[in-house]
C-alpha cells in the first residue's frame, strides 16, 4: 500500500477522523497542521501567538511558517516509512515548496473526501454546537469554505499534472463505511 498519503477535502468532510484511523492501520504518523497549530496556540508559542487570530477568522497561516513546521516534523524518525498529511498543503505555493523541500520523499497519492456543500455546512454547525471549536462559527465556516474553493481546490489538478493520483472517496455515510471505502480504494490503487 502507498504510504506517503495526502488527505484532501473541504472543512467538515471528516478528513481528521479518517486520517487518524488510516494512520493507525498503516502504522505511519498522522500529521495534521490544524492540530499542530491549535497545540501551538494552547502552548502560547510564538507561532501560536501569530496563528490564533488568523485561525479564528478562517484564513490561512502564512505559507513559510506552515511549510517549515511540516518539513521539520517530517525530519523526525517516525516518518521514515511514510506519513499521512491532513490539512497541508492547502494551496499551490505550499505544495510547490513542499515538493522542493522533500524531493524523493514527497506525496505518492492523494485521497479526496467528497461531501456536498449543504451537508458540510450542517455538519460544521453541528460540530460548533457540540464541541465549540473556536473557528466553527457561522462566519468562519463560510470563510473556510471559500478559502478551500479558492486556494485548496486547485490542488486537484496540480497533483495529477505531476503524476500524483487523486483518488475520490464518497464522504457521506458512517465513519466505518467511509473507512472501508478508503481501504478498498487504496488496495485497488497499488
- Closer to ligand ADP by CB, 54 or 121: give it: 54
* Using rule CB under 6 A, residue 158 touches ligand ADP: no
* Using rule CB under 6 A, residue 98 touches ligand ADP: no
Catalytic annotation, pick one of 4, 15, 21, 123: 15
10 half-sphere exposure, CB direction, 13 A CA radius: 24
Catalytic residue flag (residue 15):
yes
CA distance 136 to 12: 10
* Using rule CB under 6 A, residue 14 touches ligand ADP: no
- Closer to ligand ADP by CB, 55 or 115: give it: 55
Buried b (16+ CB within 10 A) or exposed e, 42-52: eeeeebbeebb
CA distance 172 to 66: 30
Judged by CB under 6 A, the residue of 5, 8, 26, 61 near ligand ADP is: 61
Query: Which residue's CB atom is positioned nearest to ligand ADP?
Result: 34
CA distance 55 to 60: 7
For residue 163, which of 86, 111, 118, 109 has the smallest C-alpha distance? 109
* Using rule CB under 6 A, residue 90 touches ligand ADP: yes
Give strand pairing partners of 166.
110
**What are the residue numbers of the active site?**
15, 90, 127, 133, 144
Chain positions contacting ligand ADP, by CB under 6 A: 11, 33-34, 37, 54-55, 58-61, 66, 87-88, 90, 94, 135, 144
Amino acid at each position: 500500500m502507498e504510504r506517503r498519503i495526502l488527505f484532501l477535502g473541504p472543512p467538515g468532510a471528516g478528513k481528521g477522523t479518517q486520517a487518524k484511523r488510516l494512520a493507525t492501520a498503516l502504522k505511519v504518523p498522522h500529521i495534521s497542521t490544524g492540530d499542530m497549530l491549535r497545540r501551538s496556540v494552547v502552548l502560547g508559542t510564538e507561532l501560536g501567538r501569530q496563528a490564533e487570530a488568523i485561525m479564528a477568522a478562517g484564513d490561512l497561516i502564512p505559507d513559510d511558517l506552515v511549510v517549515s513546521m511540516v518539513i521539520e516534523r517530517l525530519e523526525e524518525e517516525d516518518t521514515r516509512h511514510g506519513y499521512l498529511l491532513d490539512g497541508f498543503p492547502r494551496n499551490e505555493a505550499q505544495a510547490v515548496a513542499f515538493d522542493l523541500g522533500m524531493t524523493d520523499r514527497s506525496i505518492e497519492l492523494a485521497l479526496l473526501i467528497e461531501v456536498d456543500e449543504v451537508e458540510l455546512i450542517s455538519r460544521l454547525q453541528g460540530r460548533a454546537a457540540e464541541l465549540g471549536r473556536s473557528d466553527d462559527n457561522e462566519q468562519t465556516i463560510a470563510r473556510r469554505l471559500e478559502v478551500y474553493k479558492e486556494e485548496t481546490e486547485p490542488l486537484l489538478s496540480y497533483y495529477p499534472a505531476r503524476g500524483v493520483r487523486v483518488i475520490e472517496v464518497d464522504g457521506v455515510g458512517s465513519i466505518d463505511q467511509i473507512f472501508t471505502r478508503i481501504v478498498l480504494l487504496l488496495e485497488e490503487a497499488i
